[in-house]
Amino acid sequence: MNVKSLREGLGGIGLSSDELASLDAALRPLDDMTMEQFCSQLAKIKVPKRKSVPTPDGSLVSKYLEELKGSRGEFGAFTAVLDRVRADRTVKAREAILLAQAFLGDQREYKSKPLALKAIATRQFNDERLASRKGKVSGIF
């Protein structure tokens, strides 16, 4: 068996016409090779390895989470902590996403570090506004 017979047999395997045409064009120059030669040529091809995604720094996330929770009632202190997180280059997108998920108590996937930190700031702003309204309303009754 050679590559030409393999190429001719590919017609009935359910590939779309574009895929089949591409595969046919790629295999046509190899028609005279035997299957053993073809397989040995395939074995020589080096497939690039995927880059591994670094694991997020859990201690960094827990450190900033504690600081955010500790300064939750004080707007200035909370903003200062959030600014430090923004400026910290060791906090990558994955750490910021984990921080937002832990702080907000949800499992929403944020696409970037700025979006995750914006969600934290928005929650803090809404909490501050709610507390302010409660204080104003409680004085009425």
- The better pLDDT of the pair 8, 51 is held by 51
- Residues sharing a CB contact under 8 Å with residue 23, sequence separation 6 or more, in sequence order: 7, 10, 15
Q: What pLDDT, on a 0 to 100 scale, did the predictor assign at position 12?
A: 59
Contact 108/101 with Cβ under 8 angstroms?
A: yes
Band of pLDDT at residue 19, cut at 50, 70 and 90: confident
The residue whose two tokens read 């937002």 is: 100
Mean of pLDDT values over 105-122: 93
Kindly state the average pLDDT of the residues 32-43: 85
Lookup: tokens for 74: 């004080």
Average pLDDT over residues 98-126: 92
Rounded-to-integer distance, Cα 82 and Cα 52, Å: 29
pTM greater than 0.75 (yes/no): no
Classify residue 118 by burial, with Cβ atoms within 10 Å: 0-12, 13-18, 19+: middle
Which tens digit of pLDDT belongs to each residue from 73-83?
A: 888 899 999 99
Whether 35 contacts 3, CB under 8 Å: yes
- Asked if 20 and 10 touch (Cβ cutoff 8 Å), the reply is yes
CB 93 within 8 A of CB 72: no
